[in-house]
Amino acid sequence: EIVLTQSPGTLSLSPGERATLSCRASQSVNSNYLAWYQQKPGQAPRLIIHGASSRATGIPDRFSGSGSETDFTLTISSLEPEDSAVYYCQQYGSSWTFGQGTKVEIK
Amino acid sequence: QVHLVESGGGLVKPGGSLRLSCAASGFTFSDYYMGWIRQAPGKGLEWLSYIGGSGRVKYYADSMKGRLSISRDNPKNSLYLQLDSLRADDTAVYFCAKSRGGPYYFQHWGQGTLVTVSS
């Protein structure tokens, strides 16, 4: 099973700042089959990025994904208050596993 | 517009069983893989199971293998998850989700149904 480790656990930043979230896989992710989800309290997760770098429909362009093999990054270029959430990475190249999440707090 | 609505959650005693349902609308149900994911209180997401469009192909997480069974009724646009031999650590919100097509990422999610296992 591919284990995904996300860092940091919590990120506390001000509006307008850049957020960089990391997702590291225990082995190479086939075909860069890596997705990112945003989850706000009491809500279902929402797809943000798939295929490591493709934005899902309706996602603002301040969200971008990058990386390959075992190291992936979600970047929020300029934080908005509504970006406060927990972000999960998920690999779907070999079975399906999620990272433990990174909480983004807006100061 | 894709709409997924889970039901069937509730309070169940340890060792008991529960059948969760997910009503789907807004897309051609039989064309898509569907999955179940759960989230224990205050914890992260855990993939449980995936089923192909025809219902013939099924995948299960090792952590719950033997205690859950996924199925679907395409004419009724419905997805199901049978949970057996439930334990306290199965307490979670259970989400159904629609794939992009094949068994890939989860493109759309329902709001979830809470299962509480307690005596």
pLDDT digits (tens, 9 = 90+) for B62-82: 988 799 999 999 999 999 999
Which token pair is B99? 């794939």
Q: Which residues neighbour A11 within 8 Å (Cβ) at sequence distance 6 or greater?
A: A19, A21, A102, A103, A104, A105
Q: Which residues neighbour A100 within 8 Å (Cβ) at sequence distance 6 or greater?
A: A4, A5, A6, A88, B44
Q: Is B53 on the interface with A (CB under 8 A)?
A: no
Smallest Cα–Cα separation from A47: which of A68, A32, A28, A65?
A65
Number of Cα atoms under 13 Å in the Cβ half of residue A4? 33
With cut-offs at 50, 70 and 90, classify the pLDDT of residue B102.
confident
Q: Residue A53's pLDDT is what?
A: 97
Cα(A59)–Cα(B98) distance, integer angstroms? 18
Cα(A77)–Cα(B65) distance, integer angstroms? 41
Query: Does the distance separating the beta carbons of B112 and A99 come in below 8 Å?
Result: no
- The letter for the amino acid at B35 is G
Of B100 and B109, the structure prediction assigns the larger pLDDT to B109
Total CB pairs under 8 A between chain A and B: 54
Q: Which residues neighbour A60 within 8 Å (Cβ) at sequence distance 6 or greater?
A: none
Cα(A70)–Cα(A34) distance, integer angstroms? 10
pLDDT average, residue stretch B45-54: 96
Statement: residue A12 has pLDDT above 90: yes
- Please name the residue of chain B whose CA is at the shortest distance from the CA of residue A48: B107
Q: Which residues neighbour A101 within 8 Å (Cβ) at sequence distance 6 or greater?
A: A6, A39, A86, A87, A88, B44, B45
Q: What residues does B79 pair with on adjacent strands?
A: B22, B72
CA Rg, chain B, in Å?
13
Q: Residue B64's pLDDT is what?
A: 86
Q: Is B107 on the interface with A (CB under 8 A)?
A: yes
Q: Residue B101's pLDDT is what?
A: 82
- Please name the residue of chain A whose CA is at the shortest distance from the CA of residue B43: A100
Cα(B47)–Cα(A32) distance, integer angstroms? 19
Collect all residues of chain A within an 8 Å Cβ-Cβ radius of residue B106. 35, 37, 45, 47, 90
What dihedral do alpha carbons B37, B39, B45, B47 form, nearest 10°? -30
Out of B35, B62, B109, the one facing A45 most closely (by C-beta) is B109
Share of chain B above pLDDT 90, in %: 93
Q: Each residue of A13-50: pLDDT tens digit? A: 999 999 999 999 999 999 999 999 999 999 999 999 99
Q: Residue B63's pLDDT is what?
A: 87
